[in-house]
Amino acid sequence: MTKLDIISDPICPWCAIGKAKLERALAKRPEHSFEIEWHPFQLNPEMPPEGMDRREYLEVKFGGKEGAISVYSQIAEAAEEVGVTVNFEKIMRTPNTLDAHRLIHWAGLEGVQTEVVSKLFTAYFEEGQDISDHQVLTYIAASAGLEREKIGELLAQDIDRDDIRKRDKNAREKGVRGVPCFIVDNHYVVQGAQSAEMWLKVIDEISARDGQKSA
């Protein structure tokens, strides 16, 4: 197997788009050797635990709604091309994603990490849900086969909070400035929402390399 580490944040639209493009390639190469693991990165590490009103967030990040229009239009176009639904008008609050990252971590321990990441993207971008809300997170957990009550108990505690923060900090110390960031085989770094064609080349190169090793 070839390790594919993905550094991401569930409120990053380019992460959702990048995931969709990667999955297009994986669907065309079902024999791929990737073993995928998701890692935390908070786009807004200083976000208050309760999150922030979306309009206020736009004022801070883009200087207002008008400043976000050009950025959002690019996102909407890229999302449409790969079948990702992005309903910015439904998003009322920009959440703190620390607890969402904790859920992703726990999902990895149970072998349903990518499924939970997918459900977080859907909840936030398609449904406009607050993915810092513990009820939302426990519902997502249960829909992926995790024990809802157990996840609720974990979320109510500080378990793994410091670990998520340390992993986020470690990514930044290693030079990660934006997401998605893909690390292939613990060596090659791929930044941004790359095309399915690029991923097909990577997969084919890995298959050829592995074939030479086994020859």
Measured distance CA(199)–CA(26) in Å, rounded: 8
pLDDT for residue 215: 54
Q: What is the pTM of this model?
A: 0.96
For 2-209, give the CATH class: alpha beta
pLDDT for residue 56: 87
**pLDDT tens digits for the chain (215 residues)?**
999 999 999 999 999 999 999 999 999 999 999 999 999 999 999 999 999 999 888 888 888 777 778 788 899 999 999 999 999 999 999 999 999 999 999 999 999 999 999 999 999 999 999 999 999 999 999 999 999 999 999 999 999 999 999 999 999 999 999 999 999 999 999 999 999 999 999 999 999 988 777 65
pLDDT for residue 69: 80
Do residues 35 and 2 make contact, with C-beta atoms less than 8 angstroms apart? yes
Measured distance CA(96)–CA(196) in Å, rounded: 30
Spans of all domains in the chain: 2-209
Number of neighbouring beta carbons within 10 Å of residue 64: 12
pLDDT for residue 214: 62
- Cα-flanking dihedrals φ and ψ of residue 6, to 5°? -120, 120
Do residues 21 and 15 make contact, with C-beta atoms less than 8 angstroms apart? no
| For helices 161-173 and 98-109, angle between their N-to-C axes, nearest 10 degrees | 100
Helix H or strand E encompassing 183: strand 181-184
pLDDT for residue 58: 83
Do residues 153 and 137 make contact, with C-beta atoms less than 8 angstroms apart? no
pLDDT for residue 164: 98
- Reduce the DSSP state of residue 116 to 3 states and report it: helix
Enumerate the H helices of 29-97 as residue ranges: 54-62, 65-81
